[in-house]
Amino acid sequence: MTKEKAVHQVFARKYRPQGFEELVGQPAVSQTLKNALAAKRLHHAYLFTGPRGCGKTTTARILAKGLNCVKGPTPEPCGECVSCREITTSSSLDVMEMDAASNTGVDDVRQIIIETVALAPSRDRYKVFIIDETHMLSTSAFNALLKTIEEPPPHVVFILATTEVHKVPATIASRCQRFKFRPVDPEALAAHLAAIAKKEKISVDAEALQLLSRAAEGSLRDAISLLDQCRSVGEGKVTLETVREMFGFVPQEMLLGAAQALLARDAKSLAGWLKKVYEEGVEPAQFLKDMRSALEAVYLEKLGAGGGADPAWTKALSGATADGLGFLLRRLNRALEELRFGDSPRLAMELGLFSALEAAHDLGAWLSRLEALEKRLNAGGGGTALAAAPAVSGGASWTDFVEAVAKEKISLSATLQKCAHEGRPDGGWTIRFAKAFELEMAQRAQPFLEEVLAAIAGRRASVELALGGAAAPVTDIVDAAMPETPGGAPGGARWKDVAGGAEDGAPNALKKAESVFGGKARIVRKPA
The predicted model gives 239-263 an average pLDDT of 84
Distance CA 190, CA 225 (A): 13
When pLDDT is averaged across residues 108-133 and rounded to a whole number, the result is: 92
Q: Is 41 in contact with 101 (CB distance < 8 Å)?
A: no
Confidence of residue 258 (pLDDT cuts 50, 70, 90): very high
Q: Is the pLDDT of residue 382 over 50?
A: no
Q: Is 276 left (phi over 0), alpha (psi -120 to 50) or beta?
A: alpha
> Is position 443 within any domain?
yes
* CA distances to 143, 317, 321, 357, 424 from 361, in Å: 57, 11, 8, 8, 40
Shared-domain flag, residues 144 and 14: yes
Q: How many domains does the chain have?
A: 5
Which of 326-335, 336-345, 357-366 has the least mean pLDDT? 357-366
Give the angle subtended at the CA of 229 by the CAs of 56 and 292, to the nearest 5°: 75
* Among 247, 267, 294, residue at a domain's last position: 247
Residues in contact with 480: Cβ distance below 8 Å, sequence separation at least 6, in sequence order:
none
- Give me the domain span that covers residue 160: 4-180
203/263 same-domain check: no
More confident residue, 489 or 212: 212
Asked if 35 and 122 sit in the same domain, the reply is yes
Cα–Cα distance measured from residue 267 to residue 526, given in angstroms and rounded to the nearest whole number:
69
Residue 92 lies in a domain: yes
Q: Are residues 11 and 129 part of one domain? A: yes
Q: Count of CB atoms within 10 A of residue 281's CB?
A: 7
- Residue-wise pLDDT tens digits, 27-60: 999 999 999 999 999 999 999 999 999 999 999 9
Whether residue 111 sits in one domain with residue 28: yes
- Whether 396 and 504 share a structural domain: no
Residues 68, 152 share a domain? yes
Asked if the structure places residue 528 within a domain, the reply is no
pLDDT-wise least confident of 336-340, 445-449, 476-480, 494-498: 476-480
According to the model, what pLDDT value does residue 366 have? 53
Q: What are the residue ranges of helices labelled H in 266-392?
A: 267-280, 284-303, 311-316, 322-341, 345-354, 364-380
What CATH number is associated with residue 242? 1.10.8.60
CATH code where residue 331 lies: 1.20.272.10
Measured CA to CA, the distance from residue 410 to residue 275 in angstroms comes to 51
Band of residue 317 on the pLDDT scale cut at 50, 70, 90: confident
Alpha carbons 322 and 303: distance in angstroms, whole number: 7
Q: How far apart are CA 204 and CA 185, in angstroms?
A: 20
Contacts of 249 by beta carbon, 8 Å cutoff, 6+ apart? 211, 215, 243, 286, 290
CA distance to 478, 480, 526, per residue, from 487 (Å)? 19, 18, 12
Using one digit for the tens of pLDDT, what is the confidence trace for 148-202?
Answer: 999 899 999 999 999 999 999 999 999 999 999 999 988 899 999 999 999 988 8
The residue-averaged pLDDT of 66-87 equals 93
Q: In this structure, are residues 112 and 96 in contact, taking their beta carbons and an 8 Å threshold?
A: yes
Q: Are 256 and 339 contained in the same domain?
A: yes
- State whether 435 and 406 are in the same domain: yes
The mean pLDDT value for 114-123 works out to 91
What confidence score (pLDDT) does residue 194 get? 92
Q: 412: pLDDT confidence band, cut at 50, 70 and 90?
A: confident
Average pLDDT on 323-349 reads 88
Taking 50 as the threshold, does the pLDDT of residue 238 lie above it? Answer: yes
Residue 256 counted as domain residue: yes
Residue finishing a domain among 447, 467, 487: 467
Statement: the pTM of the whole predicted model exceeds 0.75: no
Residue type at 496 in one-letter notation:
K
| Beta-sheet pairing, 463-467 with 177-180 | unpaired
Ordered strands of the 127-132 beta sheet: 95-99, 127-132, 156-162, 45-49, 177-180
89-98, 134-143, 343-352, 388-397: range with lowest mean pLDDT: 388-397
**459 plus 495 within the same structural domain:** no
Contact 55, 48 (CB under 8 A): no
| pLDDT single digits (tens) 413-422 | 888 888 888 8
Q: What is the CATH number of the domain that holds 139?
A: 3.40.50.300
SS3 124: coil
Task: Count Cα atoms within 13 angstroms, Cβ side, for 415.
Answer: 22
Residue 32 has what pLDDT?
95
Q: Which helix (H) or strand (E) holds 110?
A: none
Question: Taking a C-beta distance cutoff of 8 angstroms, is the pair 175, 150 a contact?
Answer: yes
User: Of 18-32, 210-224, 257-271, 502-516, which has the strongest mean pLDDT?
Assistant: 18-32
pLDDT at 468 over 90: no
> Do the bridges between strand 463-467 and strand 429-433 make them parallel or antiparallel, or are there none, so unpaired?
parallel
The DSSP element (H or E) to which 308 belongs, if any, is none
Is omega for the bond preceding 73 within 30 degrees of 0, making it cis? yes
Residue 1: what pLDDT?
Answer: 43
Co-location of 237 and 216 in the same domain? yes
The pLDDT assigned to 391 comes to: 40
Q: From CA 72, how far away is CA 74, in angstroms rounded?
A: 4
More confident residue, 207 or 498: 207
Domain membership of residue 375 (yes or no) is yes
Which of residues 111 and 483 earns the better pLDDT score? 111
pLDDT digits 0-9 by tens, 486-512: 445 455 544 444 444 444 445 555 555
Rg of the Cα trace of the chain? 38
For the cut 60, the answer to whether the pLDDT of residue 276 exceeds it is yes
Residue 36 within a domain: yes
Residue 316 has a pLDDT of 86
pLDDT greater at residue 461 or residue 46: 46
Give the domain CATH number at 443.
3.30.300.180
Q: Indicate whether 422 belongs to any domain.
A: yes
- Percentage of residues of the chain with pLDDT beyond 70: 79
Backbone torsion region of residue 492, taken as left when φ is above 0, otherwise alpha when ψ lies between -120 and 50, otherwise beta: left
Residue 458 has pLDDT above 90, yes or no: no
Domain boundary among 205, 226, 247: 247
pLDDT at 133: 94
**Does the residue 527 lie in any domain?**
no
Q: Tell me, yes or no, whether 261 and 353 share the same domain.
A: yes
Cβ neighbours for 304, distance < 8 A, ≥ 6 positions apart: none
Q: Pseudo-torsion of CA 259, 263, 266, 268, nearest 10°?
A: 10
The yes-or-no verdict on residue 305 having pLDDT over 50 is yes
